[in-house]
Amino acid sequence: MTARRVAERMIADGLVVAAILGWWLLSLRLPDFLMPSPWQVATTLFGLFVTPSLLADTAASAARVIASVALSTVIGGVLAIVPYRWPVTDAIIRDRITPFLNSFPSVGWAILAMIWFGTTDAAVIFVEVAILTPFCLVNILEGLKSLDQELIEMGASFTRDRARRFMKIVFPMLLPYLMSAIRIAYGVAWKIALVAELFGVSSGLGYLMLKAEIVSDAASVYGTCFAIVLLFLAGEKLVIDPLSRLVAYK
């Protein structure tokens, strides 16, 4: 059993080493603008977190991601609560707003935002919120559907104050779903941050990537891709995981 575990590990890590080695060998034969070496990419990646001007772009992207995740959780939450409180609106949320937002192409939002809001931070955040909201909405709708009805009835026998019942019973039960909405939105947010930033704004990782693409600076394109993977992982391990543990223990 342990021997197999060791073999499994060796193959998995061997794959990573082999991929980097293969990349390095390939980069020796191909020109830099096609395939930069792993070291060049590592240097640009390092620069993104150290060089002040580049760090500003990284921070701008991160700030936009955090703002949009927060905003879309709130908007998705409000949209999900409406049919819970007024069941008549269920079809509006479920059959109109959700599929509309869900199938709206993200590039479409990006172009429209550029035309509507110009090249501003607000445009980028608008695009990210528009894309993330359906993910939060669907998750919180699911959560509200699977709440323990008996507990809610018990609450009703204690108080008629709806707001109080909501804060004491519904909201705590909803927290895990809220958390998974945030987790999913966060994962998607980093991926679409690039799309949102490719049109027009002059800061952020998406802007850096497009600039690098135009001058065929492949090392920077690679570097930005890896920076996003790293930032995503860091946020998930350092913020999202502890938060969801906190929620789960309650």
Partner 1 sequence: MPSENSLAPTKRSAVASVLGEERRARLGAHLFTLAFLGAWWGYSLTVPPFVLPGPVPVAIRLAQFFTTYNLYKQAFASLEHIVAGMAVSLIVGSALALAAHYLPVLRLAVHGRLSPFLNSFSGIGWTLLSIVWFGVNEFTVVFAISVVLTPFAIINIREGLETLDRELLEMAMSFTRNRWREFGKIVLPGLMPFVFATLRISFGVSWKVALAAELFGGRTGLGYLFNLAQQNFDVRLILVVIFVIIAFVYGTDRLLFAPLQARFGRLEASASP
CB 137 within 8 A of CB 80: yes
Instruction: For residue 89, state whether it binds partner 1 (rule: CB under 8 A).
Output: yes
Give the one residue of 46, 49, 116, 171 binding partner 1; rule: CB under 8 A: 116
Q: How far is CA 185 from the centre of its chain?
A: 4
CB of 14: closest distance to partner 1 in angstroms? 8
Q: Does 108 bind partner 1 (CB under 8 A)?
A: yes
Q: Is 9 a residue that touches partner 1 (CB under 8 A)?
A: yes
Residue 59 vs 161, nearer CB to partner 1? 161
Q: Which stretch binds partner 1 (CB under 8 A): 54-62, 74-82, 110-118, 139-147?
A: 110-118
Count of chain residues binding partner 1 (CB under 8 A) = 61
Q: Is 22 in the site for partner 1 (CB under 8 A)?
A: no
Q: Residue 69: which of 118, 117, 139 has the closest Cα?
A: 139
d(CA 141, CA 94): 9
Pick left, alpha or beta for residue 31 (phi over 0 → left; psi -120 to 50 → alpha; otherwise beta).
beta
Among 174, 224, 235, 244, binds partner 1 (CB under 8 A): 224
Helix H segments across 51-170?
52-85, 90-91, 98-103, 106-117, 121-145, 149-158, 162-165
Alpha carbons 50 and 64: distance in angstroms, whole number: 20
Looking at residues 161 to 200 of the shown chain, list those that interact with partner 1 (rule: CB under 8 A). 187, 190-195, 198
Give the Cα-Cα-Cα angle 235, 239, 241 (nearest 5 degrees): 100
Q: Please name the residue that has the structure tokens 């409000």.
A: 78
Binding residues for partner 1, rule: CB under 8 A, are 4, 7-9, 11-13, 15-16, 33-35, 87-92, 95-96, 99-100, 102-108, 111-112, 114-116, 152-153, 156-157, 160, 187, 190-195, 198, 206, 209-210, 213, 216, 218, 221-222, 224-225, 228-229, 232-233
